[in-house]
Structure 1
Amino acid sequence: MNRRELLAVAGMLGLAPTLARAAGQGGDATAARDAYLYTLPLIEMATARERILKIPGAAINTLRHTRTLSDHTARWVTTPNNDTLYSPAFLDLTKGPVTLTIPPMGKRYYSAAVMDMFTNNNVVLSTRTVGGEGGTFTLVGPGQASTGPNPTRIATPHAWLLIRTLTDGGDDLDATHKSQDGFKLTGPAGAPTATYANRDAKPADYFAAARALLASDPAPPTDQRILRRTGAFLGDGSFDEAAAAAGVEQARTIAVFAKDRMVFTGGWSYPRANLGDYGQDYLYRAIVAQQGLGALPVAEAMYMKAAGDNGAGVFTGDGLYRLTLPAQLPLDGFWSLSMYEATADGQFFFTDNPLKRYAIGDRTAGLKRNADATLDLWIGRTDPGGERTPNWLPAPKAGPFAMYLRAYLPRAEFLDGRFRLPAIVKA
């Protein structure tokens, strides 16, 4: 990220005074800031890998299936979805390729995303790209040769495979589990992984971890410019610890401010076109790694957050809200509107409610449509009653809340902005 790009983002986020102070601390602090933001995806991926591998039965190059949808008790990751079951596996390709077999899925939606350690989606094998017939794919690391079927090149020696399988829950779970069990991952046993410092570590520990991760999973040739500029912190040798501390403080300030400074258009925030495949947009990549690790590319799914009462993504009212949607959204998959209670530290989780309904969408049974086939969704802390109850998305009994709408397999008019969601309004 060059100075002009950073100043533009700083202006949007209200960070110009912070960066002005940073300028007085010299180029070393600026390089430390950029080094932190550049390597934050590596750190977040290593942290996620360590956390998942602590789960009993989890191992490198081994799929682990979740069997139930998230509910109000699920607090292990912010903004969970209530549409799909996950099957994650961290990959080690250093000893050779691994083979992923996707079973015939018919009309059931699935996606198998393989992200390199910089969080770019190198490939998404899905209903959209592969189809319902399934197939076998050989995941190949850098510099490796493969004679396996459908060789698929991964940019780093280590990676994260994250499979999402659509389920309606309830009576559909058994069939969903059978579909999950059809996914097979075979290959050499992975080597044990090291433990690395997390994003909140002391600057010296953070940069030591970043250097080790870059050695394990080297950056692409297209990143040589930023690597040269940040070489004091990401290369060999010692560095100025005062400058490192100043730069890391700047980077963390940027990330914190960005979390609450979303841009809303017509009542919703929309993802950038490069979500999930960031190129050299290192700042956006860092922010997503911290707030939504594992995000799919927009061609696969779009995630929109409602603006809320305060225009910053949070609702606080005790009254009734309404979202009126057209008869058909421009997508080839499915959509859902999820309700989250907001915690004091800025995270979002499902909220307990009498319907045990954490999201509402086009697959929700019993929805009542208007005469013109449009759909009124009613949102509030109490049951709106009568004909509105089937279309009720319960809000928390008290406290602030937020809503996200997920749209899978969006069409061109959704992707390019010709279609915009109607705003959520007070009823």
Structure 2
Amino acid sequence: MRSLLTLPLCALLLTAAAPGQEASPVSRPSYDPCAADQFQWSKLPDVLPASPAERETWAHALALDAAVYGGLAVAQYWQMYAQGVDTKDPDYTGFNRFHHERRLAYPGYKAFKTPNVDTLYSNAWLDLTGGPVLVTVPPMDTPSLDKGRYFAFNLLDAYGNASNISTRIQGNGGGTYLVATTDWQGTVPPGATLFRVTTPYVWVLLRIKANDAADAKRVAKLQDAFTLTPTAAHDGPAPQFPDAADRSAIGYFRMLDFILRANGHPRSEDALVYRWHGIGLAGPKSLDTALADPAIRKGLERGHADAMKVIADSVTQAGLHLDHWRSPYDAGRMGWNYLERTGLMIATGANVPTENYAFVTYVDADGDPLDGSRYTYELVQTPPPAKYYWSYTPYLRENRELIPNAAQKYIINDRTPGLKHEPDGQLRVVLSAVRPKGVAAANWLPVSGAPFVLAIRSQGPDKALLDGTWTPAPIRKLGPVR
């Protein structure tokens, strides 16, 4: 058993209160039982209830817990399978290879939900099971491109924990990085910087700022200059990846079992994962062996169904609550907040707030759901203070996709031509299905005739964002749709 005293400082800091939040009551800290005299651990696996009814109840409880834990990991697995495993998928590249998007995101964008329309995306899945991957980052300040071009080479582990090689952290001078797991031991090539990640399967979500469609063509050259070079091939039997097309409860747990076995889990979660061994997850007993018991199978199916209800009911509760807005304050760093983490199943790829401080709202100033089929709205405020860019982007509430509209306009940002500011410097943005008379085209955001959510992004957030000084204004109704 690993000592709990080996928890890193980053885990211990989970007890720190967020801005505006109540400090935690004082509690005695956790202890290391191995430091006690004569403390012993059990040698046998935990028991199972004797009756089928109670085994089903027991399996239901564990399955609900495991399904909540693994939701974001499973959603990322669906994406990994499509790009890295399924040779029949149109977006298949295999592992350690980029799929470059050559245009800004659009309605129906397939790679993931809630895409921004500020950057060009490149997706890759790293397979570090054989060894590290060498990453080449080109200089971003070149004579043919704008000086200070923002980029973020965002690495997300199998559970959605984010880290970055970016303009904000490393600057725009370019470089070579050896991406390796925390347990890798070897020699770093000359001129390369070692960059540690937690799991052997890692999603790379590269974002490079693009001003418009014409600028995107220039950015494509930068995308091609990023390279991924494996340093060693996978040694051993080929992994048996579960079919991501199986969206049943049992398929869900097959994928979660693979994720846990292939990637491991944080040391601080040993006891949590140990509890799931009895239902066949990540333990000495296989999932198929556990499923041979009809009571356990039924418990898993019921637990999964109830977990999906709990998750759906919790999505809008995530993050810091700021009047009618919510900030996904812990996106990319959710630690043990598994329910909040799994709420991101519908919006994978979230980065840490120090890179992108975001806000989202589902309601207007009256607390009513935002609905472009019923009302016209306005948002009046000073734009968020961000070093690299800010933007407002609406999405369909039902699926978090960009909203189709005849104007083909999906965003207002700091680069939108012709934006008109109020005399006091504030920006008034009108959200409606049809542009009202007298409203400048630049200041109008089409929201079609459907319920929607609005996201605010602040890339490279200023201190006023990080300390809670700047917060968004409520969205107000201008009047009903006529």
Range into which the TM-score falls when normalised by the shorter chain: 0.7 to 0.9
The residue identity in structure 2 corresponding to 1:249 is: A
Question: What SS is found at the alignment partner of 2:284?
Answer: coil
- Tell me which residue corresponds to 2:12: none
Describe the shift of the 1:39–1:120 C-alpha distance in structure 2 as closer, same or farther (beyond 3 A): same
1:116-173 per-residue CA deviation (whole Å, 9 max, x = no partner) reads 112111x201111011112111101242223131101111122111101110122212
**Correspondence 1:157 to 2:200:** yes
1:258-287 per-residue CA deviation (whole Å, 9 max, x = no partner) reads 235557522211113x21022222222222
Equivalent of 2:387, from 324, 329, 332?
A: 332
**Correspondence 1:226 to 2:272:** yes
Question: What SS is found at the alignment partner of 2:170?
Answer: coil
Describe the shift of the 1:176–1:39 C-alpha distance in structure 2 as closer, same or farther (beyond 3 A): same
Please give the alpha-carbon distance, in whole angstroms, between the structure 2 residues aligned to 1:249 and 1:364: 44
Give, in angstroms, the shift of residue 395 of structure 1.
2.2
- Tell me which residue corresponds to 2:301: 245
Q: Does the Cα contact within 8 Å between 2:82 and 2:92 map onto a contact in 1? A: no
Please give the alpha-carbon distance, in whole angstroms, between the structure 1 residues aligned to 2:426 and 2:250: 57
Equivalent of 2:326, from 269, 274, 291?
A: 269
- Tell me which residue corresponds to 2:122: 87
Describe the shift of the 1:155–1:369 C-alpha distance in structure 2 as closer, same or farther (beyond 3 A): same
Q: How does 1:141-290 map to 2 (within 5 A)?
A: 141-144=181-184, 145-148=186-189, 149-188=192-231, 194-198=240-244, 201-233=247-279, 234=281, 235-237=283-285, 238-239=289-290, 240-261=296-317, 264-272=321-329, 274-288=330-344, 290=345
Worse-superposed segment, 62-71 or 398-407: 398-407
Please give the alpha-carbon distance, in whole angstroms, between the structure 2 residues aligned to 1:40 and 1:194: 20
Question: What SS is found at the alignment partner of 1:332?
Answer: strand
Give, in angstroms, the shift of residue 255 of structure 1.
1.2
Describe the shift of the 1:78–1:212 C-alpha distance in structure 2 as closer, same or farther (beyond 3 A): closer
Equivalent of 2:81, from 40, 44, 50?
A: 50
- Tell me which residue corresponds to 1:18: none
Give the number of the structure whose alpha-carbon radius of gyration is greater: 2
- Tell me which residue corresponds to 1:17: none
1:154-211 per-residue CA deviation (whole Å, 9 max, x = no partner) reads 1112211110111012221222111212211112476566432559744444333322
Equivalent of 2:348, from 277, 286, 293?
A: 293
Q: Does the Cα contact within 8 Å between 1:140 and 1:146 map onto a contact in 2? A: no
Give percent identity, aligned residues only.
27
The residue identity in structure 1 corresponding to 2:200 is: P
Q: Does the Cα contact within 8 Å between 2:126 and 2:202 map onto a contact in 1? A: yes
Give, in angstroms, the shift of residue 246 of structure 1.
2.8
Q: Does the Cα contact within 8 Å between 1:306 and 1:313 map onto a contact in 2? A: no
Describe the shift of the 1:75–1:135 C-alpha distance in structure 2 as closer, same or farther (beyond 3 A): closer
Q: Does the Cα contact within 8 Å between 1:39 and 1:210 map onto a contact in 2? A: yes
Please give the alpha-carbon distance, in whole angstroms, between the structure 2 residues aligned to 1:44 and 1:155: 18
Describe the shift of the 1:209–1:329 C-alpha distance in structure 2 as closer, same or farther (beyond 3 A): closer
Equivalent of 2:377, from 321, 324, 334?
A: 321
Q: How well do the aligned residues superpose, as a CA RMSD in angstroms? A: 2.6
- Tell me which residue corresponds to 2:7: none
Equivalent of 1:39, from 60, 70, 74?
A: 70
The gaps in structure 2 that reach 5 residues or longer are 1-52, 142-147, 291-295
Please give the alpha-carbon distance, in whole angstroms, between the structure 1 residues aligned to 2:303 and 2:90: 35
The gaps in structure 1 that reach 5 residues or longer are 1-21
Please give the alpha-carbon distance, in whole angstroms, between the structure 2 residues aligned to 1:301 and 1:376: 23
Q: Does the Cα contact within 8 Å between 1:141 and 1:157 map onto a contact in 2? A: yes
The residue identity in structure 2 corresponding to 1:236 is: P
Please give the alpha-carbon distance, in whole angstroms, between the structure 1 residues aligned to 2:361 and 2:348: 20
Question: What SS is found at the alignment partner of 1:128?
Answer: helix
Please give the alpha-carbon distance, in whole angstroms, between the structure 2 residues aligned to 1:256 and 1:275: 17
Q: Does the Cα contact within 8 Å between 2:391 and 2:414 map onto a contact in 1? A: yes
Describe the shift of the 1:44–1:319 C-alpha distance in structure 2 as closer, same or farther (beyond 3 A): closer
- Tell me which residue corresponds to 1:5: none
Describe the shift of the 1:177–1:319 C-alpha distance in structure 2 as closer, same or farther (beyond 3 A): same
